[in-house]
C-alpha cells in the first residue's frame, strides 16, 4: 500500500486535529484539513516576534524622566544614563537597540507603553495562553486569536486547499496562536529546504479509504500527507526565488527572519508568520543576557526591514513584538528580575504612524506586587492591527477578539497606505467600486481632520445591515471592504457620518 511508504519515512504522532511529523531530527507540522483560496486576504502580512520568557520592560525602555527612582530600584541592573539610546528627553532605549532608534527616527517604529491586562497572571504558561488566545485572565479559550482571524477571513473553510499556507511558524513546537476547532492553521518548519527534502519523492495516496472509523482516520492521514507535499513544494519554490541580500545574524532570530524575508520576496501569499526569540526569563545575569538578546533582535529586524523595503513590499508588511509579561521593577538578589506584569511593545513597518503611545511607567505608583500597572489592554494592539492593517470591520474584529476594544494610533489608519501622505482638504464619500458587485466591493472615503467616524450599511427599508467603521480616525484616505456574500441581490445604502458631515450613497448587489 502506498501509505506504507509514507509511514515508513515519516514518524507520526496524532494530536487534536493536527499531526506532528519528524524525520532525521527535522520536525514540521502539516494542516489537518483543507482551506479555501488564499487570495481572500487583502495582501497584507503580519510578522510576529515572540520574546519568550517575559521581557523586562524598564531595561528595554528606560524612563529618563524618573532616572533616580529607576536607579534606586536597580543599583546593579540599571542602564547608565550616558549609555541610553534617546528617543526623547524623557524616554530612551537599551543601548543594544540602536537600530530601533534609527527606525524610530525614520517614522517606522511605534512604541506602545505599559501594555497588559487586568489581574495579570505571572505564570509563563498561563500568561502565554492569555496573549495567544486573546482572553481575559479568568477566561479559558482553546483557539488562538490569529486562528480566529484566519477563519473569519476564509469563511468557507474547510474547502479547497489553497495554493499557499495560511500561516507559517518558524519553530518545531506548534503555537496555540494558530489552534482552532478545525485543527492547526499553520505549517511549522525550521528550514524550507529540509522541509522539502522531508517529503520529496513521495506521492499522494489517492485510493479511497474503507467506510469505517479506521477509514476516517486513514483519510485524515492521507490529507495530511498530500498537503505536506503540496506546501513543501510551494515553500521551496518561493524560498528559491526570494534571495534576501541584507546581512542577518547567524543565530537565534536572524535565520528565522531571513527565511520569512525569503518567502515574502519569493511571492508566498501567507498572511501571518510567527518567529520566536527565547531567553527572556532573566532571573539572573540579566545585563549580559539582555545585551545579547537585544542586539540579535535589533540587527535581525533591521536586516528584514531593509530587505522588504528594497523589494518594494514595505507597504504590505508589519512587524509586532510581544512577550507574556514584563518583570518586577525591583531587582532580585541574583542580578536579575522576577515575573511582573505590564511591558512595552514595538510595532514596526512603513505603515506605522511612528512615535510613542503613552507615558513612561510610573515607578512611584506600582501595584501591590511591585509591578508596573497596565495602561493599554494588549487586545487594543490586536484590534489596531486587525482594523488598520488587515482591513477588518468593527463587527469582524469583535467576533475575533470576543469583545469591543478601541484602536490606538499605531498604524496609519487606512488600507491604502500609499495615499496616506496626501491629506485631503474636505470630507467626502465616494461611490463604491465595483458597482454593481458580487459578492465584495470597496467603499472609499476621506477625512480632512481627526473625527469620530461611523460607516454603516442599510437595506432599502432602513434596517441596519452592517457597521463597517465605528471609531476615531485621523485625517486621511480610507478604503473599506464590504462583503455581501450572505445577502440577497438588491439595492443597499451606505452612510458616512462624522461630527460635522453626513453623506449617503447606493450600491447594487447582483448575484
* pLDDT of residue 505 exceeding 80: yes
Position 70 in a domain: yes
Whether residues 351 and 202 share a domain: the answer is yes
Helix (H, G, I), strand (E, B) or coil at 113: strand
| Owning domain of residue 209 | 2-401
Residue 229 is classified by DSSP as: H
Query: Is 367 in the same domain as 460?
Result: no
Distance CA 452, CA 142 (A): 35
Q: Is 186 a member of any domain? A: yes
- 20/244: higher pLDDT: 244
In a domain, 450, yes or no: yes
**Boundary-marking domain end, from 352, 370, 401:** 401
pLDDT of res. 394:
84
Q: What is the pLDDT of residue 420?
A: 39
Residue 504: its H or E element:
strand 502-509
Please give the Cα distance from 456 to 135 (Å, whole number).
28
Do both 360 and 460 map to the same domain?
no
Tell me: do 458 and 397 sit in the same domain.
no
The CATH number of whichever domain residue 456 belongs to comes to 2.60.40.2550
Task: List pLDDT tens digits, range 326-368.
Answer: 999 999 999 999 999 999 999 999 999 899 999 999 999 999 9
Q: Buried b / exposed e across 293-302, counting CB within 10 Å, b at 16+? A: bbbbbbbbbb
Q: Are strands 167-169 and 272-277 parallel, antiparallel or unpaired?
A: parallel
Q: Which residues contact 337 (CB under 8 A, 6 or more apart)?
A: 56, 59, 77, 282, 283, 286, 327, 328, 330, 331
Question: Strands, E, within 94-244: which ranges?
Answer: 109-116, 167-169, 187-188
The 10s digit of each residue's pLDDT in 361-394 is 999 999 999 999 999 999 999 999 999 999 888 8
Do residue 61 and residue 92 come from a single domain?
yes
Boundary (domain end) residue, out of 370, 401, 432 = 401
H-helix segments, 311-393: 378-388
- 189 and 245 housed in the same domain: yes
Cell of 387: 482594523
Specify whether 337 is located in the same domain as 474: no
Q: Which of 401, 428, 448 is the last residue of a domain?
A: 401
Query: What residues form DSSP beta bridges with 177?
Result: none
Please check whether residues 246 and 166 belong to one and the same domain: yes
Residue 24 is assigned to a structural domain of this protein: yes
Does residue 264 belong to any structural domain of this protein?
yes
Q: In this predicted structure, which of 116-125, 166-175, 278-287 has the lowest mean pLDDT?
A: 166-175
Tens-place pLDDT, residues 4-24: 444 334 333 322 333 333 333
Cis bond upstream, residue 158 (ω within 30)? yes
Domain count, the chain: 2
Q: What are phi and psi of 156, to 5 degrees?
A: -95, 10
- Comparing C-alpha atoms, which of 46, 40, 30, 11 is closest to residue 183? 30
Sheet of 440-447: strand order equals 428-429, 440-447, 476-483
pTM of the complete model: 0.74
Say yes or no: 366 and 502 in one domain: no
Of the chain, the percentage scoring pLDDT greater than 70 comes to 81
Q: Where are the alpha helices (DSSP H) in 163-212?
A: 192-199
**Is residue 409 included in any domain, yes or no?**
no
Question: Domain of 230: which CATH number?
Answer: 3.40.720
pLDDT, average across residues 300-309:
98
Q: Tell me the range of 314-323, 422-431, 438-447, 475-484 where mean pLDDT is highest.
A: 314-323
- Residue 435 falls inside a structural domain: yes
How do beta strands 45-51 and 317-322 pair? parallel
Same domain flag for 311 and 362: yes
Question: Are residues 283 and 423 located together in one domain of the fold?
Answer: no
Q: Is the pLDDT of residue 415 over 60?
A: no
**Residues 372 and 465 occupy one common structural domain:** no
Q: Answer for the pair 51, 67: CB distance below 8 angstroms, yes or no.
A: no
Amino acid at each position: 500500500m502506498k501509505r506504507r511508504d509514507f509511514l515508513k519515512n515519516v514518524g507520526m504522532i496524532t494530536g487534536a486535529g493536527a499531526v506532528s511529523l519528524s524525520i532525521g531530527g527535522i520536525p514540521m507540522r502539516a494542516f489537518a484539513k483543507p482551506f479555501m483560496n488564499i487570495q481572500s486576504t487583502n495582501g497584507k502580512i503580519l510578522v510576529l516576534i515572540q520574546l519568550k520568557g517575559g521581557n523586562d520592560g524598564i531595561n528595554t525602555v528606560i524612563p529618563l524622566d524618573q532616572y533616580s527612582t529607576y536607579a534606586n530600584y536597580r543599583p546593579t541592573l540599571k542602564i547608565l544614563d550616558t549609555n541610553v539610546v534617546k528617543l526623547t528627553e524623557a524616554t530612551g532605549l537599551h543601548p543594544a537597540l540602536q537600530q530601533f532608534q534609527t527606525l524610530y527616527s525614520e517614522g517606522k517604529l511605534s512604541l506602545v507603553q505599559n501594555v497588559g491586562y487586568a489581574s495579570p497572571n505571572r505564570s509563563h504558561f498561563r500568561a502565554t495562553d492569555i496573549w495567544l488566545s486573546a482572553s481575559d485572565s479568568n477566561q479559558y479559550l482553546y483557539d488562538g486569536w490569529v486562528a480566529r482571524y484566519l477563519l473569519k477571513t476564509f469563511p468557507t473553510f474547510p474547502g479547497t486547499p489553497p495554493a499557499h499556507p495560511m500561516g507559517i511558524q518558524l519553530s518545531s513546537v506548534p503555537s496555540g496562536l494558530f489552534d482552532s476547532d478545525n485543527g492547526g492553521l499553520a505549517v511549522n518548519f525550521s528550514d524550507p529546504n529540509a522541509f522539502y527534502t522531508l517529503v520529496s519523492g513521495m506521492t499522494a495516496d489517492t485510493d479511497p479509504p474503507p467506510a469505517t472509523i479506521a477509514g476516517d482516520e486513514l483519510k485524515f492521514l492521507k490529507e495530511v500527507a498530500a498537503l505536506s507535499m503540496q506546501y513543501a513544494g510551494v515553500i521551496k519554490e518561493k524560498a528559491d526565488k526570494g534571495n534576501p541580500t541584507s546581512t542577518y545574524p547567524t543565530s537565534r532570530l536572524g535565520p528565522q527572519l531571513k527565511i520569512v524575508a525569503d518567502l515574502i520576496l519569493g511571492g508566498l501569499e501567507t498572511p501571518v508568520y510567527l518567529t520566536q526569540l527565547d531567553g527572556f526569563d532573566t532571573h539572573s545575569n540579566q545585563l549580559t543576557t539582555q545585551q545579547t538578546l537585544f542586539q540579535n533582535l535589533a540587527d535581525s529586524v533591521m536586516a528584514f526591514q531593509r530587505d522588504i523595503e528594497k523589494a518594494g513590499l514595505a507597504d504590505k508588511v508589519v512587524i509586532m513584538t510581544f512577550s507574556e509579561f514584563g518583570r518586577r521593577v525591583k531587582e532580585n538578589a541574583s542580578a536579575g528580575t522576577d515575573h511582573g506584569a505590564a511591558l512595552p511593545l514595538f510595532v514596526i513597518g512603513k505603515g506605522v504612524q511612528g512615535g510613542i503611545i503613552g507615558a513612561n511607567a510610573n515607578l512611584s505608583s506600582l501595584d501591590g506586587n511591585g509591578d508596573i500597572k497596565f495602561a493599554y489592554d494588549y487586545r487594543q494592539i490586536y484590534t489596531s492591527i486587525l482594523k488598520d492593517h488587515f482591513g477588518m470591520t468593527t463587527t469582524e474584529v469583535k467576533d475575533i477578539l470576543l469583545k469591543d476594544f478601541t484602536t490606538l494610533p499605531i498604524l496609519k489608519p487606512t488600507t491604502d497606505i500609499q495615499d496616506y501622505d496626501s491629506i485631503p482638504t474636505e470630507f467626502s464619500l465616494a461611490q463604491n467600486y465595483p458597482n454593481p458587485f458580487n459578492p465584495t466591493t470597496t467603499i472609499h472615503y476621506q477625512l480632512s481632520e481627526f473625527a469620530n467616524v461611523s460607516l454603516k450599511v442599510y437595506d432599502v427599508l432602513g434596517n441596519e445591515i452592517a457597521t463597517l467603521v465605528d471609531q476615531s480616525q485621523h485625517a486621511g484616505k480610507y478604503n473599506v471592504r464590504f462583503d455581501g456574500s450572505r445577502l440577497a441581490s438588491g439595492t443597499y445604502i451606505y452612510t458616512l457620518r462624522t461630527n460635522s458631515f453626513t453623506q449617503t450613497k447606493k450600491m447594487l448587489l447582483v448575484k
